[in-house]
Amino acid sequence: MKRREFLGATAGTVASAACGPGQHSPPLSEFVGPDPERGHHLREGTWREGPVHETIHTEVAIVGGGAAGSAAAWRLRRAGLGDVHLFELEDDVGGTARGGELPRSRHPLGAHYLPTPPPGCLALERLLEELGVILGRDARGRPEYAPSAIAAAPLERHFGRGRWYEGLYPAAGETADEAAQWARWHAHLRDLDGRRGADGRPLFAIPVARSSAELRHLDAVSFAAYLDDLGLVSERLRWALDYACRDDYGCTLAQTSAFAGLHHFLARGLEETRGGFLLTWPEGNARLVRGMLERADLGDRLHRGAAVVAVDPHAGELRVHRPADGRRLRVHARAILWAAPRFVLGRLLVGADPLPAGALTYAPWLVASVDVRTAPRGIGARLAWDNVPLAGPSLGYVVATHGESVDARRPGAVLTYYEPLCGDGPAELAAQRQRLLAGDLSTWSDHVVAALAAMHPGIASEISRIAVTRWGHAMIRPVPGLLFGESLARARAPIGRLRPCAADVAGLPLFEEAFYQGCGAALAALADLGRNAPDALADELPA
Does residue number 145 form part of the binding site for other proteins (CB under 8 A)? Answer: yes
Would you say 120 or 154 has its CB closer to other proteins? Answer: 154
Question: What's the min distance (Å) between Cβ of 28 and other proteins?
Answer: 29
Q: Which region, judged by CB under 8 A, interacts with other proteins, from 89-97, 134-142, 315-323, 491-499?
A: 134-142
Would you say 154 or 194 has its CB closer to other proteins? Answer: 154
Distance CA 193, CA 473 (A): 32
- Residues 443, 445, 451, CA angle at the centre, nearest 5°? 100
Would you say 138 or 199 has its CB closer to other proteins? Answer: 138
Would you say 122 or 135 has its CB closer to other proteins? Answer: 135
Q: Which region, judged by CB under 8 A, interacts with other proteins, from 64-72, 136-144, 157-165, 482-490?
A: 136-144
User: Are the C-beta atoms of residues 227 and 253 closer than 8 Å to each other?
Assistant: yes
Footprint of other proteins on residues 59-98 (CB under 8 A)?
none
Would you say 146 or 171 has its CB closer to other proteins? Answer: 146
Question: What's the min distance (Å) between Cβ of 275 and other proteins?
Answer: 8
User: Are the C-beta atoms of residues 371 and 340 closer than 8 Å to each other?
Assistant: no
Distance CA 154, CA 40 (A): 42
What Cα–Cα distance (Å) separates residue 23 from each residue in 29, 460, 467, 543? 18, 12, 22, 61
Question: What's the min distance (Å) between Cβ of 283 and other proteins?
Answer: 17
Footprint of other proteins on residues 272-311 (CB under 8 A)?
275, 277-278
Q: Environment class of residue 538 by beta-carbon count within 10 Å: exposed (0-12), middle (13-18) or buried (19+)? A: exposed
Does residue number 374 form part of the binding site for other proteins (CB under 8 A)? Answer: no
Would you say 232 or 278 has its CB closer to other proteins? Answer: 278
Q: Which region, judged by CB under 8 A, interacts with other proteins, from 11-19, 250-258, 399-407, 453-461?
A: 399-407
Distance CA 95, CA 110 (A): 9
Choose which of 144, 177, 297, 535 interacts with other proteins (CB under 8 A): 144
Distance CA 71, CA 64 (A): 11
Does residue number 132 form part of the binding site for other proteins (CB under 8 A)? Answer: yes
Position 43: which residue type?
R
Choose which of 22, 51, 136, 534 interacts with other proteins (CB under 8 A): 136
Helices 286-296 and 67-78: crossing angle in degrees, nearest 10, is 30
Question: What's the min distance (Å) between Cβ of 285 and other proteins?
Answer: 18
Q: How many residues bind other proteins (CB under 8 A)?
A: 23
Does residue number 135 form part of the binding site for other proteins (CB under 8 A)? Answer: yes
Q: Which residues contact 66 (CB under 8 A, 6 or more apart)?
A: 93, 94, 95, 96, 97, 98, 289, 339, 340, 502, 514
Would you say 139 or 379 has its CB closer to other proteins? Answer: 139
Question: What's the min distance (Å) between Cβ of 139 and other proteins?
Answer: 5
Question: What's the min distance (Å) between Cβ of 409 and other proteins?
Answer: 6
Would you say 228 or 271 has its CB closer to other proteins? Answer: 271
For residue 433, the tally of other CB atoms under 10 A from its CB is 20
Question: How many CA atoms lie within 13 Å of 393's alpha carbon, on the beta-carbon side?
Answer: 16
Would you say 275 or 299 has its CB closer to other proteins? Answer: 275
Does residue number 405 form part of the binding site for other proteins (CB under 8 A)? Answer: yes
Q: Which region, judged by CB under 8 A, interacts with other proteins, from 29-37, 141-149, 258-266, 526-534?
A: 141-149
- Residues 179, 185, 187, CA angle at the centre, nearest 5°? 105
Distance CA 65, CA 304 (A): 8
Question: What's the min distance (Å) between Cβ of 540 and other proteins?
Answer: 26
User: Are the C-beta atoms of residues 314 and 325 closer than 8 Å to each other?
Assistant: no
User: Nearest to residue 69, comparing CAs of 318, 341, 308, 476?
Assistant: 341
Beta bridge partner(s), residue 280 = 113
What Cα–Cα distance (Å) separates residue 430 from each residue in 244, 317, 363? 23, 31, 10
Footprint of other proteins on residues 147-186 (CB under 8 A)?
147-148, 150-155
Q: Which residues contact 475 (CB under 8 A, 6 or more apart)?
A: 96, 249, 250, 362, 363, 365, 503, 504, 509
Would you say 10 or 405 has its CB closer to other proteins? Answer: 405
Question: What's the min distance (Å) between Cβ of 276 and other proteins?
Answer: 9
DSSP annotation of 175 reads -
Distance CA 434, CA 541 (A): 40
Residues comprising the chain, all counted: 543
| Site map 240..269 versus other proteins, x via CB under 8 A | ------------------------------
| Rg of the chain taking only CA atoms, in angstroms | 23
Measured distance between the N- and C-terminal CA atoms of the chain, rounded to whole angstroms: 46
Question: What's the min distance (Å) between Cβ of 127 and other proteins?
Answer: 16
Q: Which region, judged by CB under 8 A, interacts with other proteins, from 31-39, 138-146, 327-335, 483-491?
A: 138-146
Does residue number 212 form part of the binding site for other proteins (CB under 8 A)? Answer: no
Does residue number 352 form part of the binding site for other proteins (CB under 8 A)? Answer: no
Would you say 276 or 481 has its CB closer to other proteins? Answer: 276
Would you say 33 or 115 has its CB closer to other proteins? Answer: 115
Distance CA 158, CA 382 (A): 10
Distance CA 199, CA 214 (A): 8
Would you say 146 or 460 has its CB closer to other proteins? Answer: 146
Binding site for other proteins (CB under 8 A): 132, 135-136, 138-139, 144-148, 150-155, 275, 277-278, 405-407, 409
